[in-house]
Amino acid sequence: MTTRSKTLRSAAELAAAGLVPDARVAALDAVAARYAVAVPPALAALIDPNDPDDPIARQFVPDPAELATAPEERPDPIGDDAMSPVEGIVHRYPDRVLLKLVHVCPVYCRFCFRRAMVGPEGRPTLSPKKIAAALDYIGGRREIFEVILTGGDPLILAPDKLGAVVAALGAIPHVRVVRLHSRVPVAVPEAITPALVAALKIPGKATYVVLHANHPRELTDAARRACARLIDAGIPMLSQSVLLKGVNDDDKTLAELMRAFVAARIKPYYLHHGDLAPGTAHLRTTIADGQALMRRLRGRVSGLAQPTYVLDIPGGAGKVPVGPTHAVPAGGCAPGAERWEIEDLQGRTHTYPPAGDDD
């Protein structure tokens, strides 16, 4: 077995695979001691070792900058624990809950907002008893319409284990939608087997899979085939991405990523502003930069390829769109009249309704 045919889990293995210089191993060992490292073969193969700014490497190869924690950063930046009434459940919104079955992933992102909770040394996989308690919680609250399996990555579970949980959720009458968030189709595309696809289907209910990818190079032929196995089986797919400095924070890359999703029959869903996870400041943009980028994206790609740019408010207050807005109230309207200033895709301002229409 070569170093490129297995998941790389240490600085030494990354160096042996030619992805980092030997001189950096000691510094990267210090990062790996704090935050888990795993780069599977499908993603390792995408890294250009000759490019010091490679966007795939920035996502998955540890960086000494991760050891610097900014004052505003926190281990649980979006307040999962404060909203967890039962282990494994996060109930932040009235009609939906998160169900975190596992806290391990096939790849560990260097910007992960749950990086203090996931990994081999992170929180344990839910036991059968704790899964039963979580299902009892969901079953006892009729307002829960949708259950979102996240973690960790739920698609790393064996099909029979994952299928048993999905079937149990499907048996709860008021649960109408099961959604799974995953990197598996890009990280380990061969894991999307017919058995796994079958395990996700619920007669009479809707299952969605949300793919996390941040750069168009992640949507390889193998990844697109894995997604097609899900979509062809009747499981719709959405995307989520994180806006990352040096990865996708430019017009061309972001537009190419969104077009790649749409071409693969994946509807762009969320573009997340980077969360305040420890040691991630070097990868975060500003909200103003994100808004400007979204304005330019609106002029470059169709509405089908537009994600919603969102911020998860620190502390658990929830996810909100953060713009940009193209409409602001205009002053000087007659009493009872409405007038707006609308900015078009070229940055020009128009009055709506046009002057004279409500005079």
Tell me if 35 sits within 8 A of 69, measured CB to CB.
Answer: no
129 catalytic residue (yes or no): no
339 catalytic residue (yes or no): no
State the catalytic residue, choosing from 54, 270, 275, 309.
275
227 marked as binding residue: no
**Given CA atoms 91, 269, 43, 254 in this order, what sign does their dihedral have?**
negative
State the catalytic residue, choosing from 35, 74, 80, 92.
92
| DSSP-based three-state secondary structure for 321 | strand
State the catalytic residue, choosing from 35, 58, 108, 112.
112
250 catalytic residue (yes or no): no
93 catalytic residue (yes or no): yes
114 catalytic residue (yes or no): yes
Residues 74 and 113: their CA atoms lie apart, in Å, by 9
109 marked as binding residue: yes
Residues 17 and 115: their CA atoms lie apart, in Å, by 24
275 catalytic residue (yes or no): yes
Q: Where are the alpha helices (DSSP H) in the chain?
A: 11-16, 25-34, 41-44, 55-60, 128-139, 159-170, 184-187, 194-200, 221-232, 251-263, 287-300
6 catalytic residue (yes or no): no
State the catalytic residue, choosing from 58, 74, 100, 114.
114
State the catalytic residue, choosing from 9, 93, 229, 298.
93
**Tokens encoding 224:** 């697109």
b/e string for 194-229 if b means 16 or more Cβ within 10 A? eebbebbbbeeeebbbbbbbbbbbbbbebbbebbeb
- What's the DSSP call for residue 35? S
112 catalytic residue (yes or no): yes
Active site residues: 92-93, 96, 105, 109, 112, 114, 275, 312, 319
Binding positions for [4Fe-4S] cluster? 105, 109, 112
- Residues annotated within a binding site: 105, 109, 112
